[in-house]
Amino acid sequence: MRNFVLEGNLCYSITPKELKTLRGYVVCKNGICAGTFEEIPEEYQSFEVYDYSDMLIIPGMVDLHIHAPQYAFRGMGMDYELIEWLNTQTFPEEAKYADAEYAKKAYAIFAENMRKSATTRACIFGTIHREATEILMDLMEESGLVSYVGKVNMDRLAPESLLEQSADMSAFSTFGWINDIRGRYQYTRPILTPRFIPSCTDELMEQLREVQRTYQLPVQSHLSENQGEIEWVKQLRPDAAFYGDGYDKYDLFGDRNLDQEKVRTVMAHCVWSTDDEVRRIKDNGVFIAHCPASNMNLSSGIAPIRKYLDLDMKVGLGSDVAGGQTESIFRAITDAIQVSKMYWRHVDEKAKPVTFEEAFYMATKGGGEFFGKVGSFEDGYEFDALVLDDSALKSPNDLNIRQRIERAIYLSLDLNGIVAKYAAGRKIC
Amino acid sequence: MRNFVLEGNLCYSITPKELKTLRGYVVCKNGICAGTFEEIPEEYQSFEVYDYSDMLIIPGMVDLHIHAPQYAFRGMGMDYELIEWLNTQTFPEEAKYADAEYAKKAYAIFAENMRKSATTRACIFGTIHREATEILMDLMEESGLVSYVGKVNMDRLAPESLLEQSADMSAFSTFGWINDIRGRYQYTRPILTPRFIPSCTDELMEQLREVQRTYQLPVQSHLSENQGEIEWVKQLRPDAAFYGDGYDKYDLFGDRNLDQEKVRTVMAHCVWSTDDEVRRIKDNGVFIAHCPASNMNLSSGIAPIRKYLDLDMKVGLGSDVAGGQTESIFRAITDAIQVSKMYWRHVDEKAKPVTFEEAFYMATKGGGEFFGKVGSFEDGYEFDALVLDDSALKSPNDLNIRQRIERAIYLSLDLNGIVAKYAAGRKIC
């Protein structure tokens, strides 16, 4: 069980600069990748071989930032900036998840489409609603993806219908949620999710520190997305040296000793992070979820990803639905490259564009690290794989694997070319 | 014949600010749109009605700039800038079209995919090769699209294999081509296509002026795409007041008296046009083909489309395959919006983002004007329509037509949701 071999045209990242391609076999042993081979080694000869003939096989995509409740209005109402968009699009929709029946209907669509997508791993925001979040987790478990799902915490500065009544109530609800789901899932894990600094009082942050310490939960939130938001944070939290320090003061921002298991943290955006903030992100081993589509759609700006890559920081990609219009991480790969080119041309001529190799790395091994050894076909990685049939993309020329992978991603082959998907050693689609 | 009615959810542009939506009927009479109606008027009651029930019906997309020979390497080799990309990707591929057999194979893929795309009208670059260009025109005629196709003129500064031997030979070949195809097609028209100023000697431009005068051909070319290119043009043509003046000196740049039929011209890009050039573009009624994906991929920069729209200039969209990775004009719509937001945020805070309404207008009625009365369902417009089935895009909410159209375009429904396509009153897909 969970021992098998896939045969086809393989492509995966070794480093941000090196994309390995070969025609051959990738071996899954007990759900873990045992490496890639041109011929099946003796020891795996008894494993069943799935022959995907001339198809492409790559690691599953990792989405470090997506909002499940916003999936209902993806691709709509895109002519707004962040704060206006929150108030007119996002908050009214999220309020609906107080109704479990609505949550079931909406999250079923989300989970089914995530199953069919190129994504095998995701960090997911729910809403403040405990019941709805548990429904979401049930559905994500069924989907087969491996995911972190967060019940959101918010106790200020949102419509009444989306506020938890107090910091205590928010923490209480979070404890209840964590206890409820304990032992319920194999592939779906809780993650602490303060929405962002403006939504959380100091008292709530204090409580969340306790929740985090008690359960050793990882943390996800938003950071330095929009200039107006940053000004707002300055006013709300004059004690914080910079936006991210507002999390770090409550030990919700990675760990200085880089003890990953202590407070594994992913922050979405980091478009406008100051030098001090960048240093802290790096020093604390915080993951950055780069969400280029969202940053374009909400006119937030372009994150300086070249800088983060050169500093050897932990960067993955996020779809940020519904700031981003689609759950496609293929799209996030090309968006990341494209915005980096605009950044180079219009903002900083020293910041060389992100290469295809680098963007592919971020989408797989870079973001995958948040989940452990995930995102590559190297020996010892959890076995996540995507099989793509690109035969509908015709060419008059013979193409090599590298060319075909680049084309498949630029042409959104995830919309109609996914033949099979494996997550943590199981075929889920 | 060519009298029929389509029933469904209609959406089309009236102005750049107004997108009209209604549940009802759009009437085609003798290939021309007779308007939209909530009930079928008495006089059209005898027309056959095609009931597309709950589907979406919009005008066909107009692509003002696409390179057919580059389709073979779409979505590949994207980590280059313009001049490097021309030398390593484009020119080697284009040279292959000297071989008619190769052209047949490659252009058949292009034409078939254009038929299946959302595009009903296109301005297409071929190569310098007369025979290959005629093959392309034969295939475009079969595809059902209405298109302008250009045999490219180049007599300097490219690899030997892609240069015509002299200005005379280039003009001679162009005359031959035009005479060859005279009367051969109903929906496929020739367009004069000097590649760009760097590729054409003064002698060639002089000759092309004569060709244009003789046949009253429209003109397509490139303008102010890349800063390095503009510097190059300055050196090559010190007599020109600005890049566009290099065309205008030879009467290949629209017409001062706005006599559209005289020299109808479309110029791709206009990313870095100076104020003088912008004024000339406007004064001469030159169309701008805005190609946002290409401008990102080749790191050219972001064209100031807000300015062009505010000046009431003629702007449409172009896919610019293979600078752009896809022939999808749906993608060009969202790209146009997204890059305008980055321009607003990072380049000019006075240049408000392009709205969805404006981008949809550019993709249909804006670019459509190059073909006459094209790109709307208003009375008197040539009948181009696209029927989209968005039922696979599930939502827990009831959506209005405007929301569904925005979603369909943001989520690339043209890749798997096109149910029917009509061009110039004929069902072609």
Tell me the per-residue pLDDT of B109-153, one tens digit each, with 9 for 90 and over.
999 999 999 999 999 999 999 999 999 999 999 999 999 999 999
According to the model, what pLDDT value does residue A84 have?
87
* CB-CB neighbors (< 8 A) of B408 in chain A: 75
The answer to whether the CB atoms of A345 and B301 lie below 8 A apart is yes
| pLDDT(A303) > 70 | yes
Average pLDDT (B275-281) is 98
- Whether chain B has a CB inside 8 Å of the CB on A94: the answer is no
The answer to whether the CB atoms of B410 and A342 lie below 8 A apart is no
The structure tokens listed for A344 are: 């180079």
The answer to whether the CB atoms of A345 and B102 lie below 8 A apart is no
Average pLDDT (B246-257) is 94
**Chain B (354-373) residues lying within 8 Å, Cβ to Cβ, of chain A:** 355-356
**Chain A (44-63) residues lying within 8 Å, Cβ to Cβ, of chain B:** none
State the span(s) of chain A assigned CATH 2.30.40.10: 4-59+376-427
Round to the nearest angstrom and report the end-to-end CA distance of chain A: 17
According to the model, what pLDDT value does residue A198 have?
96
What is the ipTM, given to two decimal places?
Answer: 0.98
The answer to whether the CB atoms of B410 and A301 lie below 8 A apart is no
Residues A4-59+376-427, CATH architecture: Roll (2.30)
The answer to whether the CB atoms of A407 and B326 lie below 8 A apart is no
Global model pTM greater than 0.90: yes
Share the mean pLDDT of chain B. 97
Question: What's the Cα-to-Cα distance from A12 to each of A31, A291, A408, rounded to whole Å?
Answer: 18, 21, 14
The single residue listed with the structure tokens 């252009």 is B107
pLDDT band at B98 (very low <50, low <70, confident <90, very high): very high
Top residue of B410, B415, B418 to mutate, by most chain A CBs within 10 Å, is B410
According to the model, what pLDDT value does residue B260 have?
61
According to the model, what pLDDT value does residue B186 have?
98
pLDDT band at A295 (very low <50, low <70, confident <90, very high): very high
Top residue of B93, B299, B302, B330 to mutate, by most chain A CBs within 10 Å, is B299
Percentage of chain A beyond pLDDT 90 is 96
Percentage of chain B beyond pLDDT 90 is 96
Residue among A296, A346, A411 minimizing CB distance to B326: A411
Residue of B nearest to A348 (CA): B346
* CB-CB neighbors (< 8 A) of A347 in chain B: 346
State the span(s) of chain A assigned CATH 3.20.20.140: 61-371
The answer to whether the CB atoms of B296 and A338 lie below 8 A apart is yes
**Chain A (382-411) residues lying within 8 Å, Cβ to Cβ, of chain B:** 394-397, 399, 403, 406-411
> Is the Cβ–Cβ distance between A149 and A120 less than 8 Å?
no
The per-residue pLDDT for range B165-214, each reduced to its tens digit, is 999 999 999 999 999 999 999 999 999 999 999 999 999 999 999 999 99
- Whether chain A has a CB inside 8 Å of the CB on B80: the answer is no
Average pLDDT (B220-230) is 97
CA distance B142 to B112: 9
The answer to whether the CB atoms of B297 and A78 lie below 8 A apart is no
b or e along B230-258 (b: 16 or more beta carbons within 10 Å of the residue's beta carbon)? bebbeebbeebebbbbbbbbbbbbbbeee
What is the dotted CATH code of the domain comprising A61-371?
3.20.20.140
Helix (H, G, I), strand (E, B) or coil at A339: helix
- Whether chain B has a CB inside 8 Å of the CB on A100: the answer is no
The per-residue pLDDT for range B281-293, each reduced to its tens digit, is 999 999 999 999 9
- Whether chain B has a CB inside 8 Å of the CB on A311: the answer is no
B329 in the Ramachandran plot: left (φ > 0), alpha (ψ -120 to 50) or beta? alpha
CA distance B250 to chain A (A): 32
| pLDDT(A348) > 70 | yes
pLDDT band at B81 (very low <50, low <70, confident <90, very high): confident
Average pLDDT (B233-254) is 97
According to the model, what pLDDT value does residue A80 have?
85
According to the model, what pLDDT value does residue A2 have?
87
CA distance B339 to chain A (A): 7
Average pLDDT (A330-359) is 98
* CB-CB neighbors (< 8 A) of B105 in chain A: 396
| pLDDT(A189) > 70 | yes
Residue of A nearest to B227 (CA): A345
CA distance A136 to chain B (A): 14
CA distance B312 to A172: 58
> Is the Cβ–Cβ distance between B119 and B148 less than 8 Å?
no
The answer to whether the CB atoms of B300 and A344 lie below 8 A apart is no
According to the model, what pLDDT value does residue A354 have?
98
Average pLDDT (A250-278) is 91
Nearest to B367 by CA among B313, B259, B289, B427: B289
According to the model, what pLDDT value does residue A82 have?
84
pLDDT band at B2 (very low <50, low <70, confident <90, very high): confident
